[in-house]
């Protein structure tokens, strides 16, 4: 892959996103896909997904189980499922490899294949080209976007979930592991929408609250006409500014749209919000991107 040009860097600053086609080889993409198959083959369904709903109270406990499972997933490899793929007893209604919506949030730390990709020399070089001095990896996710049921991701800014002081210190790396098309749910962006800050934050709720996280602020109404689609070929990398508005539609096609994504924060002169759902732990402080 060619080195990042000055022109591309300017384009990234102007639009808030940048596509680098063929950044990763087909072999690298296939190694991630086969590794995730192994991880799914060994997957245990979490207990909170196996409880049968009956009363309101049990439903709340189930939701709390789900939320604890999510809130404590920052330093683990955990499984999140599409809606309606498990019956009341937690048995799969469809093949389990077709039921997973995403796997997060520490693949970059604990899985050798994903760790190698995250810290690959070309990613580190990209960080340096973008002027990152002390980048740390805060989270990673493997996203499946399953055929026919892969749900839409509504318009959002990553900084709503990964808040820093000052803003502008979070950068997403989004890797297409197979062709992402308009039919199977590619990403859509509003160019230039990263310059107006954020209007909404997801924060940890006060202890004892009925939910584990809550939203503060309001969600603006976005004009659908402002979004442009960004179809990306297998191996393409999209750089995503923490405040750029983006979304993806439901996958209505017959083919999946696998992606591996991770987020990096410039740690120099930056404070990670204590209210973020995701927190570094003694077991896993945010690792440096540079090795």
In the chain, the largest separation of any two C-alpha atoms, in whole Å, equals 60
Q: Counting beta carbons within 10 angstroms of the beta carbon of residue 33, is it exposed (0 to 12), middle (13 to 18) or buried (19 or more)? A: middle
Please indicate, yes or no, if residue 180 is contained in any of the structural domains: yes
Q: How many domains in the chain?
A: 1
Give the Å distances, CA to CA, from 160 to 45, 71, 76, 241, 286.
Answer: 29, 16, 22, 12, 19
Q: How many CB atoms lie within 10 A of CB 24?
A: 23
In order along its 291 residues, the chain shows pLDDT tens digits of 567 999 999 999 999 999 999 999 999 999 999 999 999 999 988 888 877 767 777 777 778 788 889 999 999 999 999 888 888 788 899 998 999 999 999 999 999 999 999 999 999 999 999 999 999 999 999 999 999 888 899 999 999 999 999 999 999 999 999 999 999 999 999 999 999 999 999 999 887 777 788 999 998 899 999 999 999 999 999 999 999 999 999 999 999 999 999 999 999 999 999 999 999 999 999 999 999
* Bridge partners of residue 180, in order along the sequence: 232
Please indicate, yes or no, if residue 232 is contained in any of the structural domains: yes
In whole angstroms, what is the distance from residue 210 CA to residue 206 CA?
A: 9
Residue range of the domain that includes 22: 7-272
Please indicate, yes or no, if residue 279 is contained in any of the structural domains: no
Please indicate, yes or no, if residue 2 is contained in any of the structural domains: no
Please indicate, yes or no, if residue 154 is contained in any of the structural domains: yes
- Cβ proximity of 161 and 70 under 8 Å: no
Please indicate, yes or no, if residue 208 is contained in any of the structural domains: yes
Q: How many CA atoms lie within 13 A of 219 on its CB side?
A: 12
Q: Which residues of 41-54 are buried (b: 16+ CB within 10 A; e: fewer)?
A: eebeeeebbbeeee
What predicted TM-score, i.e. pTM, was given to this entire model? 0.95
Nearest alpha-carbon partner for 49 in 9, 81, 73, 17 = 81
Question: Residue 267 belongs to a domain with what CATH number?
Answer: 2.60.120.620
Please indicate, yes or no, if residue 123 is contained in any of the structural domains: yes
Please indicate, yes or no, if residue 256 is contained in any of the structural domains: yes
Q: What is the pLDDT of residue 180?
A: 98
């Amino acid at each position: 892959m060619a080195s990042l040009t000055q022109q591309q860097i300017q384009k990234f600053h102007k639009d808030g996103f940048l596509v680098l086609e063929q950044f990763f080889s087909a072999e690298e993409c296939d190694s991630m896909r086969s590794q995730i198959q192994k991880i799914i083959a060994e997957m245990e369904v979490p207990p909170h997904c196996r409880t049968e709903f009956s009363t309101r109270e049990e439903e709340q406990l189930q939701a709390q189980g789900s939320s604890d499972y999510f809130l404590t997933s920052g330093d683990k490899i955990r499984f999140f499922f599409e809606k309606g793929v498990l019956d009341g007893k937690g048995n799969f209604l469809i093949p389990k490899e077709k039921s997973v919506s995403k796997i997060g949030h520490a693949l970059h730390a604990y899985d050798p294949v994903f760790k190698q990709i995250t810290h690959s020399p070309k990613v580190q070089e990209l960080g340096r080209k973008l002027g990152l001095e002390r980048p740390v990896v805060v989270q990673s996710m493997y996203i499946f976007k399953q055929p026919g049921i892969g749900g839409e991701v509504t318009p959002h800014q990553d900084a709503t979930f990964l808040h820093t002081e000052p803003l502008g210190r979070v950068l997403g790396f989004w890797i297409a592991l197979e062709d992402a098309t308009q039919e199977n749910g590619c990403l859509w962006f509003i160019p230039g929408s990263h310059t107006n800050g954020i209007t909404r934050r997801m924060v940890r709720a006060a202890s004892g609250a009925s939910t584990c996280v809550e939203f503060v602020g309001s969600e603006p109404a976005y004009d659908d006409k402002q979004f442009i689609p960004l179809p990306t070929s297998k191996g393409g990398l999209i750089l995503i500014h923490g405040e750029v508005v983006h979304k993806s539609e439901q996958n209505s096609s017959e083919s999946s749209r696998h992606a591996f994504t991770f987020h990096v924060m410039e740690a120099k002169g930056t404070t990670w919000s204590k209210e973020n759902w995701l927190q570094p732990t003694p077991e896993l402080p945010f690792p440096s991107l540079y090795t």
